[in-house]
């Protein structure tokens, strides 16, 4: 019975990124909060306009009620300030509104700019980014300064992150397995087998054998075979006796059969010992000679080439071979998926350990980090040099694909709250300017 698994609730758990639905909900909540903030700021800005209009009407009422020239002196100052404040508020309201829509729904020229200029804005934004940010040397310097090899290797090498590494590696392998359709993989494997069989194998195999012989690479294999043959000979006495008893003459006496068996056993042991102990033994030279001749025939003898190619074609064309590829994929896929689902499985732990070991090597090897960092920089430079226009096209084409009204609404949602301060400032600055102009005119003409 397996021991119960104890969970340590105090152990640090790596936070998991929000799923796609969660991100969507968070985005909708953020947009709704921006809408509320925008409505509040619009009410505040409009409140300034209403207040200026109310003050203006009140001062006009006081001037109309009083006899000509008898109104209090302060009334003129307040009226001028409120009047200019209204003008500033209305002008800035018009300017802010004209960015996103037609003021009051009237199609005044040069209004609803974002809706009309959406595509041009996307092109200009892409051009600005390409000219000022997609500079190859700038990109290379920035990529190099990030020191990604050191940061990434340090994170992967940290034992605290080992469970996260195992989970992500398992998730990636499972995702790859899910994306690969069984029928497609089987067809690919069978096509790969047939593709590999199409070229002529005989001459390459012959050249490989010839090179192995010339470089004396077959000697260890011959030595291994000779040693195994001698070991087999040492234990072959019982087999020899059984063969003599079964196939020898029935009239042969037992002692004669034993004598023959001992003689065969002794000769066999001595012969295999000589072959194993002498690298220049005649049998070894004969084997090398046969391999050399076979390698030469594979390259230059038409009959041998035809036989070899025919055997290859027959072997590859058999249903057992093509079926083995399909069966191997199905069995391997099932085993891997099952092993990855088990947190304590050897495969899962081996993958994790391998990743950690590589990360530790990179983390502790500063020259390797510098070399990898230079690779990152050169790769970034190459991308910026050769693919800047393709990258920028993502921005321009994306903007072109947006709905004009939706684009205008989204931009207003992002910056509209701050633009309302322009209306407020217009009201305040207009009032101060009107007050200053009225004051100066009074000082000059009275």
pLDDT tens per residue, range 83-127: 999 999 999 899 888 888 888 888 888 777 777 777 777 777 777
Residue 57, pLDDT score: 93
pLDDT band at 394 (very low <50, low <70, confident <90, very high): confident
**Other Cβ atoms within 10 Å of 221 Cβ, number:** 11
pTM of the model: 0.44
Q: What is the mean pLDDT of residues 247-256?
A: 71
Residue 51, pLDDT score: 94
pLDDT band at 416 (very low <50, low <70, confident <90, very high): confident
Of 60-64, 69-73, 332-336, 370-374, the range with the lowest mean pLDDT is: 332-336
Of all residues in the chain, what percent carry a pLDDT higher than 70?
80
pLDDT at 78 over 50: yes
Residue 193, pLDDT score: 67
Of 98-102, 229-233, 322-326, 426-430, the range with the lowest mean pLDDT is: 322-326
pLDDT band at 156 (very low <50, low <70, confident <90, very high): confident
pLDDT band at 15 (very low <50, low <70, confident <90, very high): very low
pLDDT band at 165 (very low <50, low <70, confident <90, very high): confident
Q: What is the 3-state secondary structure (H, E, C) of the chain?
A: CCCCCCCCCCCCCCCCCCCHHHHHHHHHHHHHHHHHHHHHHHHHHHHHHHHHHHHHHHHHHHHHHCCCCCCCHHHHHHHHHHHHHHHHHHHHHHHHHHHHCCHHHCCCCCCCHHHHCHHHHHHHHHHHHHHHCCCHHHHHHHHHHCCHHHHHHHHHHCHHHHHHHHHHHHHHHHHHHHHCCHHHHHHHHHHHHHHHHCCCCHHHHHHHHHHHHHCCCCHHHHHHHHHHHHHHHHCCHHHHHHHHHHHCCCCCCHHHHHHHHHHHHHHHHHHHHHHHHCCCCHHHHHHHHHHHHHHHHHHHCHHHHHHHHHHHHHHHHCHHHHHHHHHHHHHHHHHHHHHHHCCCCHHHHHHHHHHHHHHHHHHHCHHHHHHHHHHHHHHHHHHHHHHHHHHHHHHHHHHHHCCHHHHHHHHHHHHHHHHHHHHHHHHHHHHHHHHHHHHHHHHHHC
pLDDT at 4 over 70: no
**Other Cβ atoms within 10 Å of 33 Cβ, number:** 10
pLDDT at 213 over 70: yes
Q: What is the mean pLDDT of residues 330-338?
A: 65
């Amino acid at each position: 019975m397996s021991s119960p698994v104890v969970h340590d609730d105090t152990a640090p758990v790596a936070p998991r990124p929000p799923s796609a639905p969660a991100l969507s909900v968070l985005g909708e909540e953020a947009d709704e909060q921006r809408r509320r903030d925008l409505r509040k700021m619009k009410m505040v800005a409009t409140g300034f306009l209403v207040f200026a209009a109310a003050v203006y009407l009140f001062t006009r009422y006081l001037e109309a009620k009083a006899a000509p020239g008898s109104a209090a002196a302060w009334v003129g100052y307040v009226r001028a300030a409120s009047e200019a404040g209204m003008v500033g508020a209305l002008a800035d309201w018009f300017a802010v509104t004209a960015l996103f829509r037609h003021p009051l729904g009237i199609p005044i020229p040069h209004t609803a700019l974002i809706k009309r200029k959406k595509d041009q804005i996307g092109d200009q934004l892409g051009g600005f980014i390409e000219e000022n940010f997609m500079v190859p040397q700038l990109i290379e310097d920035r990529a190099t300064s990030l020191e990604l090899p050191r940061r990434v290797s340090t994170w992967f090498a940290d034992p605290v992150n080992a469970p996260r590494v195992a989970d992500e590696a398992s998730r990636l392998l499972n995702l790859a397995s899910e994306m690969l359709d069984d029928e497609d993989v089987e067809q690919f494997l069978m096509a790969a087998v047939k593709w590999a069989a199409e070229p002529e194998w005989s001459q390459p195999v012959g050249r490989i054998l010839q090179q192995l012989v010339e470089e004396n690479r077959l000697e260890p294999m011959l030595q291994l075979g000779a040693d195994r043959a001698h070991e087999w000979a040492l234990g072959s006495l019982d087999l020899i006796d059984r063969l003599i008893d079964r196939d020898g003459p029935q009239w042969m006496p037992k002692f004669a059969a034993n004598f023959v068996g001992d003689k065969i056993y002794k000769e066999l042991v001595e012969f295999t010992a000589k072959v194993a102990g002498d690298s220049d033994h005649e049998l070894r030279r004969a084997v090398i000679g046969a391999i050399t001749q076979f390698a030469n025939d594979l390259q230059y003898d038409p009959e041998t080439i035809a036989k070899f190619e025919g055997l290859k074609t027959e072997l590859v064309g058999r249903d057992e071979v093509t079926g083995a590829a399909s069966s191997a994929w199905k069995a391997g896929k099932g085993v891997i998926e099952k092993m990855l689902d088990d947190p304590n499985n050897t495969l899962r732990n081996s993958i994790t350990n391998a990743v950690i070991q590589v990360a530790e090597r990179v983390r502790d090897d500063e020259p390797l980090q510098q070399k990898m960092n230079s690779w990152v920089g050169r790769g970034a430079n190459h991308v910026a040099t050769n693919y800047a226009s393709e990258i920028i096209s993502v921005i321009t084409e994306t903007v072109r694909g947006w709905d004009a009204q939706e684009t205008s609404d989204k931009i207003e949602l992002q910056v509209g709250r701050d633009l309302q301060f322009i209306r407020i400032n217009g009201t305040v600055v207009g009032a101060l300017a009107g007050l200053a102009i009225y004051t100066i005119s009074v000082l000059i003409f009275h």
